[in-house]
Chains A and B, each alone.
Chain A
Amino acid sequence: MTSDSTFEQIRKFFNIIGALSLFTHRFFMNVLKPPYEIKEIAKHMYELGVKTFPIVSVTGVIIGVVLTLQSLPIMIKFGAEAFLPYMVTLSVIRELGPVLTALIFAGRVSSGIGAELGSMRVTEQIDAMEVSAIDPFRFLVVTRVIATTMILPLLTVYVDFLAIGGGFFASYISMNTTYDLYMSQVVEVVKFGDIIPGIGKTIVFGFIVGITGSFLGYTADKGTEGVGKASTTSVVYSSLLILIFDMILVQVALWLWPVN
Chain B
Amino acid sequence: MAGKLVEVKDVYKSFGEQSVLAGVSLEVNETQNLVIFGKSGTGKSVLLKCMVGLLTPDKGTISINGIDVLNIPLKEMNELRKNIGFLFQGAALYDSMSVRENLAFPLIRNFNFTQKEVTQKVERALDMVSLSHAIDKMPSELSGGMRKRVGLARSIITEPMLMLYDEPTTGLDPITTKEISKLIRDLQQELKMTSIAVTHDLICAQIIADRVIVLNDGIILFEGDLATLTSLDDPFLKNFFSPEYLEDNYG
- The residues of A with any CB-CB pair to B shorter than 8 Å are 119-120, 123-125, 127-134
Contacts and interface: CB of A to CB of B under 8 A. Distances in A.
Interface of B: 49, 52-54, 78-79, 81-82, 84, 86, 88-90, 92-95, 105-106, 109-110
Given A119-B95, A133-B79, A128 B88 contact: yes
Contacts of B78: 133
A131 B94 contact: no
Contacts of A134: 105-106, 109-110
A132 B105 contact: yes
Given A131-B54, A134-B110, A123 B90 contact: yes
Contact of A131 (B79, B84, B90): B84
B95 A131 contact: no
8 contacts: A119-B95, A124-B88, A124-B90, A127-B88, A132-B109, A133-B82, A133-B109, A134-B110
A133 B76 CA distance: 10
Contacts of A133: 78-79, 81-82, 106, 109-110
A233 to B, nearest CB: 22
A115 to B, nearest CB: 12
Contact of B54 (A119, A120, A127): A127
A134 B94 CA distance: 13
Contacts of B95: 119-120, 123, 125
A128 B109 contact: no
Contacts of B106: 132-134
Contacts of B109: 132-134
Contact of B93 (A119, A125, A130, A132): A125
Given A120-B95, A123-B92, A133-B79, A128 B86 contact: yes
Nearest to A132: B106
Contact of A124 (B82, B89, B105): B89
Contact of B52 (A120, A123, A125, A131): A131
